[in-house]
Structure 1
């Protein structure tokens, strides 16, 4: 999946946050919907401008972004 065909960033749209091309739907917003339990069918029904390929591209973008970032464990303090 070449997510670059579907996800882009433009400083004039949502202050440059990654969005699905041709929409103002941010990648973070769509990922939050899935994290909240929405299904692909629900997302597609609510946002008919999206396609199944665009949704897969959002996940491909997120996966690649995670590979490119460094994450460090932060110990939780006692309460």
Structure 2
């Protein structure tokens, strides 16, 4: 399953990292997000806006698309 098809940001980020063959430290270098923050994101923590922007760039999506796809809880109501 492609990373953008994953149901959560945590799973999507981990899948993106694995699809590219990145260790956490390499993903940190590529995205500019600290390795400890990547670990927390992959565990399900909500990232700060600046890190959402960095994730969006890595995913070739806009920040709004990331928010809508993975973080907007209203769509399930």
- TM norm. shorter chain > 0.5: no
Q: Which of the two has greater helix per residue?
A: 2
TM-score, normalised via structure 2 length: 0.35
Greater RCO (Cα-Cα under 8 Å, separation 6 or more) = 1
Q: Which of the two has greater strand per residue?
A: 1
TM-score, normalised via structure 1 length: 0.34
